[in-house]
Amino acid sequence: MKLEINVPVSGLDLATLLEGEQGLFLSQNRGQNYITVAKPGHPIVFGPMPIGQPVLEQAPTLGPEPWFVTKISNSTDLADFRGGFGKTSRENR
């Protein structure tokens, strides 16, 4: 399945959701947000790396919790995203 940018999908296995995909993804599970990078032949080449506020452990649930995945970019280069915001203003100080 080819995922489109800003179109969420869900499933129980993150690697299966990202199989054959390429890009940067927002992955969510149990209320926690993660960044994940996928490349063809490697569903997970980076991540899932937690982002945002940590979510405290919740009471155990019966069965697995689904992953919600949204493609946010076709790029697989994290340098395109790390420190990109406000970078020029910090360099000029």
pLDDT in tens, 66-88: 999 999 999 888 766 665 544 44
Q: In this predicted structure, what is the pLDDT of residue 62?
A: 76
- Distance separating alpha carbons of residues 42 and 36, to the nearest angstrom: 12
Q: Domain residue spans in the chain?
A: 9-91
Determine if the pTM surpasses 0.85: no
Peptide bond into 54 cis (omega under 30): no
Select from 23, 16, 17 the least CA-distant residue to 37: 23
Q: In this predicted structure, what is the pLDDT of residue 11?
A: 96
